[in-house]
Amino acid sequence: MSLLVPESGLLFWMCLSFGIVFFIVARYGFPVILKSVDERRSFIQKSLDDANTAKAMLDNIKSESEAIIASAREEQMIIIREANKLKNSIIKTANDEAREITRKQIESVRVEIQNEKDSAIRDIRSQIALLAVDIAEKLVRNELKESPAQMQLINKLLNESSPFKS
Amino acid sequence: MQKRLKIYFLLFILSVFNAGNLFAAEEFDVKSLIYSHIGDSYEWHITSVGETEISVPLPVILIDKENGISIFISSRLREGASYKGYRISEKGEYANKIVYTTASGKVSRPVDLSITKNSFALIINCTILLIIILSATRWYKGGRQRAPKGFVGAMEIFIMDINDNVIKSAIGKGYEKYAPYLLTVFFFILINNFMGLIPFFPGGANTTGNIAVTLVLALCTFAAISFSGTKEYWKEILWPDVPSWMKFPLPLMPAIEIFGVFTKPFALMIRLFANIMAGHTIILSLTSLVFVTVAMGTATNIGMSALSILLTVFMLFVELIVAYIQAYVFTLLSAVFIGLSRVRKQAIN
């Protein structure tokens, strides 16, 4: 029966030791551990959330960059096409202009040649006239006696003196 | 197989020659052995070498009207010796307690605050508990954000398991206020249970199998239940929602409910005390088989010794589980009772 009767001395020491342990451990022990584990849990949760948002942002950026690349490629195509068109038109106008200039030059050269030719012919004609006058002078000086013989002489002189061969 | 044959042969030889009574088979008093172990004593007996008893003497603190406070070492009272009129009573009402005999021969008990075996074991176990918890706590200081390893990691698993699966789920919202107390109770009981299972000096004392220890624990839980009781909780006890003839004129239900208030901590006290005491008693009884069977001849003795060792080892394993389970159950039920006392009106409807 003595087993079921609490001993006052043991009660005293139990109260004292349990009280001290409870005071120390419940104040400086468990709350510290529980608090830091809670903090770590929320830290882990926050890190996971952050990682998820970062991943979502990364996916967003990826798709955005893909869209940018696609649009850039399209623009590139348009620019190349326009540049091609521009190139062709430039070449065409340049060709046209060149042809026009050439044509004009040829024209002017032809006119020059014509002028030269005309002046040359005019020159020759004046030369011929001078020659004819010379010849006539010579003929006149040769005493113009018989007319057929004179004509013969004129023709002969003409034949001798110029490109105007009959 | 061959080994077993050898053992049988040995047993046969021994029984033929009946070498049994080589050891003087004294009358072995199992009951007093068990009682002296699960009870308390003024010194901590470790072992006997021959005739010399090796034990740790503990301080005796007595308060008496005549002598005032007297403090002395318990070895002065060894083997019935008397010191300043104090001696350890051998039988009667105050068996194994210090009594004071006056000059006229009147025997009385002084106020006894001696550090007995159990008190000393409690102090040792509390120190171990403090060292364990505070050394684990030290790791957390400085607010590092990574998981601990090794010993601290194991302690964290333990603490968080009790915190999350027992305290949090039993009390619910606002459990944080009670977590330190319940965790202290859990580890206090656990350490004491485990230390009680160690069969030599710093362990082996039957602390949680002592009613005074469980009484204090149960009273603490009772206080926690009562102080956290809401208005609704007390109303349910004193004026429950039952037909009015059950509470007036004869307060039938209130009487039962008030009785229930006290049976809860009482059950906690008895459960822990009885479980641990019974465990110690069974292990000691099984160990005693070795000494009891000495008188029955060597063959029986050897056979029973082997059986005894086998059963003792088995029981020690069972007690390891019981040590955890009882700490767990005490904490769980304390948490459940505290949770019940925090009942709110909405919760009922």
Nearest to A9 among B114, B211, B215 (CB): B114
* Interface touch B115/A3, C-beta < 8 Å: no
A67 to chain B, closest Cα gap in Å: 40
Helix (H, G, I), strand (E, B) or coil at B11: helix
**Order of strands, edge to edge, in the sheet holding B68-73?**
B68-73, B59-64, B111-112
Interface test with B, best of A3, A5, A10 (most B CBs within 10 A): A10
Identify residues of A whose CB sits under 8 angstroms from chain B CBs.
Answer: 2-15, 17-18, 20-22, 24-34, 36-37, 39-40, 43
CA distances (Å), origin B275, targets B279, B281, B326: 6, 10, 8
Cβ-based contacts of B128 with chain A (< 8 Å): none
B27 vs A72 pLDDT, higher one:
A72
Other beta carbons less than 10 A from residue A143's beta carbon: 8
* Interface touch A36/B210, C-beta < 8 Å: no
A58 to chain B, closest Cα gap in Å: 26
* Interface touch A18/B133, C-beta < 8 Å: no
The residues near B34 (Cβ < 8 Å, ≥ 6 apart) are: B280, B281, B284, B285, B288
Cβ-based contacts of B145 with chain A (< 8 Å): 39-40, 43
- Could you tell me if B232 and B344 are in contact, meaning their C-beta atoms sit under 8 angstroms apart? yes
Omega prior to B110 cis, within 30 of 0: no
* Interface touch A21/B95, C-beta < 8 Å: no
Cβ-based contacts of A4 with chain B (< 8 Å): 211
The residues near A11 (Cβ < 8 Å, ≥ 6 apart) are: B212, B215, B216
Helix (H, G, I), strand (E, B) or coil at B274: helix
**Residue B73, strand partner residues:** B59
- Could you tell me if B233 and B261 are in contact, meaning their C-beta atoms sit under 8 angstroms apart? no
Which DSSP string corresponds to B243-263? Answer: -GGGTSSS-HHHHHHHHHHHH
Cβ-based contacts of B64 with chain A (< 8 Å): none
Domain ranges of chain A: 17-161
pLDDT, residue A141, reads 67
Helix (H, G, I), strand (E, B) or coil at B113: coil
The arithmetic mean of pLDDT across residues A115-140, rounded, is: 83
pLDDT, residue B81, reads 80
Report d(CA B271, CA A94) in Å as an integer: 112
Rg of chain B over CA atoms, in angstroms?
A: 26
pLDDT tens-digit profile of B56-103? 888 888 888 777 888 888 888 887 788 888 888 877 777 778 888 877
- Could you tell me if B289 and B307 are in contact, meaning their C-beta atoms sit under 8 angstroms apart? yes
Cβ-based contacts of A34 with chain B (< 8 Å): 159, 163, 176, 179
**pLDDT at A161 exceeding the cut of 80:** no
**pLDDT at A146 exceeding the cut of 70:** no
Cβ-based contacts of B39 with chain A (< 8 Å): 2-3
Helix (H) or strand (E) holding B219: helix B211-228
B77 to chain A, closest Cα gap in Å: 18
pLDDT one digit per residue (tens) for chain B, 349 residues: 556 656 655 555 444 444 444 444 456 788 888 888 888 888 888 888 877 878 888 888 888 877 788 888 888 888 778 888 888 887 777 777 888 887 777 788 888 888 989 999 999 999 999 999 999 888 888 766 677 888 989 999 999 999 999 999 999 888 989 999 999 999 999 999 999 999 888 888 889 999 999 999 999 999 999 998 888 888 888 888 888 887 778 888 888 889 999 999 999 999 999 999 999 999 999 988 888 888 888 888 899 899 999 999 999 999 999 999 999 999 999 999 999 998 876 555 4
pLDDT, residue B24, reads 44
Average model confidence (pLDDT) for chain A? Answer: 87
Which DSSP string corresponds to B131-175? Answer: HHHHHHHHHHTT---S---HHHHHHHHHHHHIIIIIIIHHH-TTG
* Interface touch A30/B160, C-beta < 8 Å: no
**pLDDT at A159 exceeding the cut of 60:** yes
Encoded amino acid at B227, one letter: F
What ipTM was estimated for this complex?
0.84
Nearest to A6 among B38, B61, B211 (CB): B211
